[in-house]
Chain A
Amino acid sequence: MTAPHTDLLIVGAGPAGMAAAVTACSHGLSVRVVDDQPAPGGQIWRAIETVASTPRLARLGQAYRAGADRARAFRSCGAVYEPQSELWQIEPGFRAFLTRDGQARSVTADAVILATGAQERPVPFPGWTLPGVLTVGAAQILLKTASTVPERPVWIAGCGPLPLLYMTQLLAAGGQIAGFLDTTPRGRASAALRHLPAGLRRAGELAKGLAWSLALRRAGIPIIRHVTDLRAEGDGRVERLRYRTEDGREGEVTAEVLLVHEGLVPSIHVPLALGCTVEWHPAQHCYVPLLDGWGETSQANLFVAGDGAGIGGAEAAEPRGRLAALRVATRLGKLDAVRAERAAKTERAALARALALRPFLDTLYGPRAQVFAPADETLVCRCEEVTAGALRARAVEGRPGPNQLKAFTRAGMGPCQGRQCGYTMAHIVAAAQNRKVEEVGFFRIRPPLKPVTLGELACLDQREPAA
Chain B
Amino acid sequence: MFRKLHNPGSATVTIYIDGCAVTAEAGESIAAVMLRQPTGWSRTTSISQSPRAPYCMMGVCFECLVAVDGKGSLQGCLTPVRDGMRVTRQQGRRSLSA
Q: Which residues of A contact B (CB under 8 A)?
A: 36-38, 43, 50, 56, 84, 86, 102, 119-120, 129, 131-135, 137-139, 141-142, 145-151, 173-174, 236-237, 256-257, 267, 382-385, 414-416, 419-420, 451, 453
Q: Residue B13 at the A interface, CB < 8 A? A: no
Q: Taking the complex as formed, is B10 at the interface, i.e. its CB lies under 8 A from any CB of chain A?
A: no
Contact in complex: B51, A382 (CB < 8 Å): no
Asked if B45 is at the interface (CB within 8 A of a chain A CB), the reply is yes
Residues from chain A with a CB closer than 8 A to the CB of B4 are 146-148
Residues on A with C-beta less than 8 A from B65 are 415
Looking across the interface, which residue of chain B has its beta carbon closest to that of A117? B58
Collect the chain A residues with CB atoms within 8 Å of residue B42's CB.
131
Query: B41 and A131: CB pair below 8 A?
Result: yes
- Shortest CB–CB separation between residue B98 and chain A, in angstroms? 11
In the assembled complex, the CB of B48 is this many whole angstroms from the nearest CB of chain A, namely: 6
* Chain B residues whose C-beta falls within 8 Å of the C-beta of A236 in the assembled complex: 40-41, 50-51
Residue in A56, A256, A415 whose CB lies within 8 Å of B73: A415
Minimum distance in angstroms from B18 CB to a CB of chain A? 16
CB neighbours (8 Å) of A146 from chain B are: 4, 25, 28-29, 32-33
B85 within 8 A of A: no
**A43 proximity list for chain B (CB < 8 A):** 58
Closest Cβ–Cβ distance, residue B40 to chain A (whole Å): 4
With both beta carbons as reference points, the residue of chain B lying nearest to A138 in the complex is identified as B57
Inter-chain contacts of B80 with A (CB < 8 A): 38
- Report the bound CA distance from A133 to B41 in whole Å: 11
CA–CA, A416 to B41, complex, Å? Answer: 19
Contacting residue for A138 out of B28, B36, B58, CB 8 A: B58
Q: Is the interface of A mostly helix, strand, loop or mixed?
A: loop
**A147-B5, A151-B1, A237-B40 as given contacts; A131 in contact with B53, CB under 8 Å:** yes
Q: Is the CB of A102 within 8 A of B71?
A: yes
CB neighbours (8 Å) of B41 from chain A are 131, 236-237
Decide yes or no whether B60 CB sits under 8 A from chain A.
yes
- Let me know if B22 is at the binding interface, CB within 8 A: no
CB of B20 within 8 Å of the partner chain: no
Q: Are B59 and A148 in contact (CB under 8 A)?
A: no
Judging by beta carbons under 8 Å apart, are A36 and B59 in contact?
yes
Question: A151 touches which one: B3, B27, B32 (CB < 8 A)?
Answer: B3
Contact with A along B17-47 (1 / 0, CB 8 A): 0000000010111001101100011100101
Q: Is the CB of B5 within 8 A of A174?
A: yes
Known contacts A56-B6, A382-B61; 15 further A-B pairs (Cβ under 8 A): A43-B58, A50-B27, A131-B51, A134-B55, A135-B57, A138-B56, A142-B2, A146-B4, A150-B2, A150-B3, A174-B5, A256-B1, A384-B47, A415-B65, A415-B73
**Residues of chain A lying within 8 A (CB to CB) of residue B2:** 142, 148-151, 257
Most buried by B among A132, A133, A146, A267: A146
Residue B62 lies at the interface, judged by CB distance under 8 Å to chain A = yes
**What is the CB-to-nearest-CB distance from A17 to chain B, in angstroms, rounded to a whole number?**
15
Please give, as numbers and ranges, the residues of chain B lying within 8 Å of A385 by CB-CB distance. 45, 47-48, 50
Tell me the count of chain B residues lying within 8 A, CB to CB, of chain A. Answer: 40
**Of residues 52 to 79 in B, which have CB atoms within 8 Å of A's CB atoms?**
52-63, 65, 71, 73, 77-78
Complex CA–CA separation, A86 to B60 (angstroms): 12
CA distance A419 to B62 in the complex (A): 10
Binding site for A on B (CB under 8 A): 1-6, 25, 27-29, 32-33, 35-36, 40-42, 45, 47-48, 50-63, 65, 71, 73, 77-78, 80
What residues of B have a CB within 8 angstroms of the CB of A102 in the complex? 71
Contact yes or no, A133 B55, CB < 8 A? yes
Min CB distance B34 to A, Å, is 10
Q: Is the CB of B28 within 8 A of A150?
A: no
Residues in B with CB closer than 8 Å to A141 are: 57-58, 77
**In the complex, A371 Cα to B14 Cα: how many Å?**
41
Residues of B within 8 A of A148 (CB): 2-5, 28, 32, 35-36
Partner of B29, one of A86, A135, A145: A145
Residues of B within 8 A of A145 (CB): 27-29, 32
* Interface pairs A-B: 7 shortest CB-CB: A131-B53, A146-B32, A138-B57, A415-B62, A146-B28, A237-B40, A131-B40
Give A56 to B6 CA distance when docked, in angstroms: 10
Contact (Cβ within 8 A) B1 A131? yes
Determine the residue in chain A with the shortest Cβ distance to B41: A131
In the bound complex, residues from chain A placing their C-beta under 8 Å from that of B56 are: 119-120, 134-135, 137-138
* CB of A439 to closest CB in B, whole Å: 26
**Chain B residues whose CB sits within 8 angstroms of the CB of A119 once the complex forms:** 56, 58, 60
Asked whether A420 lies within 8 Å of B61 as measured between CB atoms, the reply is yes
Report the Cα distance A148→B57, complex, angstroms. Answer: 12
Complex Cα spacing A383 to B63, Å: 8
Complex CA distance for A145 and B26, rounded to whole angstroms: 11
Say yes or no: A138-B1 contact (C-beta < 8 A), given A38-B80, A146-B32, A148-B36: no
Within the complex, what minimum Cβ distance (angstroms) separates B94 from chain A?
10
The interface residues of chain A lying within 8 Å CB-to-CB of B32 are 142, 145-146, 148
Q: How far is the CA of A267 from the CA of B71 in the complex (A)?
A: 28
B1 near A142 with CB under 8 A, answer no
Contacts of A453 in B (CB 8 A): 73
